[in-house]
């Protein structure tokens, strides 16, 4: 019996030992499987984040390719003519093919001319000019179904919402516009001070100090940018980037510092060609590349901020964060900033800036225009801040322009008009004595 007991005990010990080894192996295998699962999850997260980043980059590239603004009310491109041998200063250089202008009926596409002469457009322009924005809005909304071929009513409604500061309404009709015309809708860029400035012609009007950069934006721009210190700090400043055709990192750093300094005093700005300059800066940026420093990235973000393109700003901030592994600057909506598209003509420093609203007695404004006309042979009015003209004041201004035109011999232009004001001016006969250039959508 003792022998069997010993044998049984030995077998029992062996079974217990095997069970311990199996449990240890199971525990080890379980830990290994857990680690493998964690590694697999981590790889999936990395792959998912990488895929999202690639998708975002591809979307941005697609937007750059397919989101080109279509020309509006533009005539067919004409071959460039050789410049005259001499220039007496009474004419401006020939405009390029992207310039939009309203002249006589023969110079406007038929559908645009028909819209401008249509009673509904004229009635809306008059209502808006006399401060009845809500009635004008309802009439514009009611006219959209009949605006399949001509987009004038759409452009007037877009401008109305921007003037009134109603971004949500603007974005709502943008969806319908994009669906109907299968093209990208306009961007939200309200004119500076349009919704808040007092409804009188007492806002600043006159020739604003202008800094126009040209050529490659590089270290050579330093002397031009230093001129900002000597310009009248109390007047609105016009920054014109129309003739910039390239950028480098050092030039980006100089312009960024100048923009920060100018805005430090909350000075009113009119920025011309910021969209085109932003595109040039974006072209030299590469995600993950730090060789050129942060200045080009920060200038690009600053230009997007001035353009009030918050969504693009946030997306590019992520790219900046990935590249430099630092927190990006926050988006702060621009204040006292108006934007205008790239200009093709010279003489930008000689433009007369009109106020945001012209209403009531415009005597002081007309006197300032008289003074301006006494100094310049060609009159160019900057309307990028002009949100509304009251009918009576617009009629008085038309009479003054007719007087200054000298029977049509003097060249007079109104640049960057919103489409509501352009419709009123055409109704009042401005196109017979001046050239009207509505902004492009």
Over residues 383-408, the pLDDT tens digits come to: 988 999 999 999 999 999 999 998 88
Least confident of 117-121, 310-314, 375-379: 117-121
Tell me which of 141-150, 191-200, 311-320, 324-333 is least confident: 191-200
The predicted structure's pLDDT at residue 272: 86
Dump strand ranges (E) for 158-304: 206-207, 210-217, 237-247, 269-272
Flag whether pLDDT at 276 surpasses 70.
yes
Question: What proportion of the chain, given as a percentage, has pLDDT over 70?
Answer: 68
Is residue 202 over pLDDT 80? no
User: What pLDDT does residue 392 have?
Assistant: 95
pLDDT at 439 over 80: yes
Q: The tokens of 439 are what?
A: 């902004």
Residue where the block lists tokens 């016009």: 238
Task: Give the dihedral sign, CA 360/401/438/208.
Answer: negative
Task: State both tokens at 146.
Answer: 């009949």
Residue 317 C-beta-side C-alpha neighbours within 13 Å: 16
The domain ranges of the chain are: 95-204+351-441, 209-340
The CATH number corresponding to 209-340 among 3.90.930, 1.10.287, 3.30.200, 3.30.750 equals 3.30.750
179-187, Cβ contacts within 8 angstroms, sequence gap of 24 or more: 180/148, 181/151, 183/70, 184/66, 184/67, 184/69, 186/69, 186/155, 186/158, 186/441, 187/307, 187/309
Tokens of 282: 């974006």
25 pLDDT higher than 80: no
Distance CA(7)–CA(85), nearest Å, equals: 123
Instruction: Provide mean pLDDT across the span 293-305.
Output: 96
Determine the pLDDT at residue 84. 37
> What is the arithmetic mean of pLDDT over 91-119?
39
What phi and psi values does residue 241 have, to the nearest 5 degrees?
Answer: -105, 15
Average pLDDT over residues 279-303: 95
Longest Cα–Cα distance of the chain, Å, equals: 138
With CA atoms as reference, report the closest residue to 155 among 417, 341, 430, 382. Answer: 417
Give 94's contacts (C-beta < 8 A, 6+ positions apart): 80, 81, 83
Measured between alpha carbons, how far is residue 431 from residues 96, 102, 413, 434 in Å? 20, 7, 10, 5
Position 370 pLDDT exceeds 50: yes
Decide if pLDDT at 16 tops 50: no
Query: Virtual CA dihedral for 311, 315, 316, 319, nearest 10 degrees?
Result: 170
Q: What would the two tokens of residue 81 be?
A: 């003519």
Q: What is the pLDDT of residues 233-259, one digit of tens each?
A: 777 888 989 899 999 999 999 999 999
The two structure tokens encoding residue 131: 């401060």
175: number of Cβ within 10 Å: 10
Instruction: Name, in order, each residue with C-beta under 8 angstroms of 97's C-beta and a sequence gap of 6 or more.
Output: 74, 77, 78
Across 126-136, average pLDDT: 95
Residue 107 has pLDDT above 50, yes or no: no
In the predicted structure, residue 333 carries a pLDDT above the cut 70: yes
The residue ranking higher by pLDDT, 25 or 109, is 25
């Amino acid at each position: 019996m003792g022998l069997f007991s010993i044998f049984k005990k030995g077998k029992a010990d062996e079974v217990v030992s095997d069970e311990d080894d199996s449990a240890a192996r199971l525990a080890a295998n379980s830990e290994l499987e857990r680690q493998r699962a964690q590694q697999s999850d981590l790889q999936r997260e990395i792959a998912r984040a990488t895929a999202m980043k690639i998708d975002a980059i591809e979307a941005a590239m697609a937007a750059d390719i397919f989101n080109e603004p279509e020309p509006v009310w533009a005539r067919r491109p004409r071959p460039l003519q050789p410049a005259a041998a001499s220039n007496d200063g009474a004419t401006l250089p020939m405009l390029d093919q992207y310039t939009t202008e309203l002249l006589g009926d023969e110079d406007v596409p038929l559908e645009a001319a028909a819209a401008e002469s249509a009673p509904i457009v004229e009635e809306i322009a008059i209502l808006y000019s006399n401060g009845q924005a809500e009635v004008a809005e309802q009439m514009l909304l009611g006219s959209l179904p009949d605006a399949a071929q001509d987009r004038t009513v759409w452009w007037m409604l877009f401008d109305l919402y921007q003037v009134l500061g109603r971004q949500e309404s603007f974005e709502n009709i943008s969806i319908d516009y994009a669906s109907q015309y299968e093209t990208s809708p306009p961007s939200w860029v309200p004119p500076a001070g349009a919704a808040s400035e007092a409804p009188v012609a007492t806002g600043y009007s006159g020739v604003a100090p202008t800094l126009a950069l040209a050529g490659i934006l590089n270290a050579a721009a330093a002397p031009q940018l230093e001129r900002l210190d000597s310009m009248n700090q109390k007047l609105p400043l016009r920054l014109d980037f129309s003739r910039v055709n390239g950028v480098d990192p050092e030039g980006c750093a100089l312009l960024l510092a100048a923009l920060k300094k100018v805005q430090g005093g909350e000075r009113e700005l009119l920025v011309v060609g910021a969209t085109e300059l932003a595109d040039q800066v974006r072209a030299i940026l590469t995600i993950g590349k730090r060789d050129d420093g942060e200045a080009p990235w920060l200038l690009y973000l600053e230009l997007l901020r001035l353009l009030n393109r918050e969504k693009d700003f946030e997306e590019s901030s992520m790219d900046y964060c990935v590249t430099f592994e630092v927190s990006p600057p926050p988006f702060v909506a621009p204040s006292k900033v108006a934007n205008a598209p790239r200009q093709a003509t010279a003489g930008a420093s000689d433009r007369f800036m009109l106020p945001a609203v012209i209403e009531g007695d415009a005597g002081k404004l007309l006197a300032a225009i008289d003074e301006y006309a006494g100094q310049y042979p060609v009159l160019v009015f900057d309307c990028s801040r002009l949100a509304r003209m009251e009918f009576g004041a617009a009629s008085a201004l038309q009479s003054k322009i007719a007087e200054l035109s000298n029977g049509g011999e003097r060249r007079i232009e109104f640049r960057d008009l919103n489409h509501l004001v352009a419709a009123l001016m055409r109704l009042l006969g401005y196109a017979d004595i001046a050239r009207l250039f509505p902004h492009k959508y």
